[in-house]
Amino acid sequence: MKPSSFLSLARFGLKTILFRKTDPILGTIIVTDRCNLKCRHCSVNNITSVLYPYAQIRDEMHKLYDMGVRILFFCGGETFLWRDGDRNLRDLVTEAKDMGFLIVNVVTNGTFPIDLPEADLILLSLDGARERHDLVRGPTFDVIMENVQNATADNICFYMAINRLNKDAVREVCILARETKNVRAVSFNFHTPYPDTRELALSKEEKKACCAVIADMMKEGAPVFNLKSAFPYLIENSFPTPCRQCVVMENGRLSVCGRCIDVPGLCAECGYFFVAEYTLLFRGKPKVVFEMLRTYLKYV
């Protein structure tokens, strides 16, 4: 991250903490819900299957920028499926950078060739080594690892959603993150139990066991892009929700925090690590603030 970007984000954080502000800093644009996969834990793929038009996405980018958002995520469905005429995902990332967003990240399932050096981070879903990953996501592990090896930059961060099916694969994903070319880090979430996937939710004891493994792997030098200081809150689901500093745009509609905001009762069972990390950060929890500074400077 450029020093000027770091200072700008630090200034925002300080103002938010001191004056208890709720202005957004992190925005997500859903470019499509079309996806080539049908993962076991997913509730959001192919509901409309529309690739949203470029003009609409550009308009959403401007709206978010004008609201003060400076960290932008492009998310799907599968983002690499998006195109409009000659334009593709890479054009969106370049345009977001030119517009002035300080950090531009992309979320992908990794099944398409990865040529996106302009992105700060590419969050690539990996739910285990071959056996467990394929159990959750279909037979995709080999093609994903090939795409990772052949990527044109080292800006990849594995992104693992931990659920009942893959809870024992945390260690193996940490090792893959440490040893795979082009991978900078791994970031975790617990499964957030939408009504149609409740059976995949982890118990408190299972979350505790997973956090213990992640903490051990951090000690062993695994590049984990999460905050250990947030683990107790994630285990207990005791962090504040929703995250007021995060917004999502999907097809012209703006939501606070996540597109899941309207699912009754879901926030009380939220498994998204970023929600815990950001809400605790902006409440000024000293350990979280310190760890966030250290982690962002290391991986972004």
* Residues at the site binding ligand SF4, with contacts judged by CB under 6 A: 35, 37-39, 42, 44-45, 76-78, 109, 125, 192, 241-243, 257-258, 260-261, 266-267, 270, 272, 275
Question: Is the Cβ of residue 111 or residue 217 nearer to ligand SF4 in the bound state?
Answer: 111
Secondary structure element (H or E) that encloses residue 151, with its range: none
CB of 196 to ligand SF4, least distance (A): 12
β-strands 87-88, 83-84 pairing: antiparallel
CA–CA dist 106, 86 (Å, integer): 19
CB of 157 to ligand SF4, least distance (A): 15
Question: Is the Cβ of residue 45 or residue 229 nearer to ligand SF4 in the bound state?
Answer: 45
Asked if 58 and 29 count as a contact pair (C-beta separation under 8 A), the reply is: no
Rounding to the nearest 10 degrees, give the CA dihedral for residues 47, 124, 225, 29.
Answer: -40
CB of 50 to ligand SF4, least distance (A): 14
Question: Is the Cβ of residue 217 or residue 245 nearer to ligand SF4 in the bound state?
Answer: 245
Query: How remote is the C-alpha of 278 from its chain's centroid?
Result: 12
CA–CA dist 296, 300 (Å, integer): 5
Neighbouring C-beta atoms of residue 272, cutoff 10 Å: 23
Residue 229's closest CA among 168, 281, 299, 283? 281
Question: Is the Cβ of residue 39 or residue 126 nearer to ligand SF4 in the bound state?
Answer: 39
CB of 165 to ligand SF4, least distance (A): 13
Secondary structure element (H or E) that encloses residue 161, with its range: strand 156-162
CB of 51 to ligand SF4, least distance (A): 14
Question: Is the Cβ of residue 84 or residue 269 nearer to ligand SF4 in the bound state?
Answer: 269
CA–CA dist 221, 238 (Å, integer): 28
CB of 221 to ligand SF4, least distance (A): 29
Secondary structure element (H or E) that encloses residue 13, with its range: helix 3-19
Q: Three-class SS of residue 238? A: coil
CB of 243 to ligand SF4, least distance (A): 6
Question: Is the Cβ of residue 101 or residue 278 nearer to ligand SF4 in the bound state?
Answer: 278
Question: Is the Cβ of residue 24 or residue 76 nearer to ligand SF4 in the bound state?
Answer: 76
**Number of residues assigned to the chain:** 300
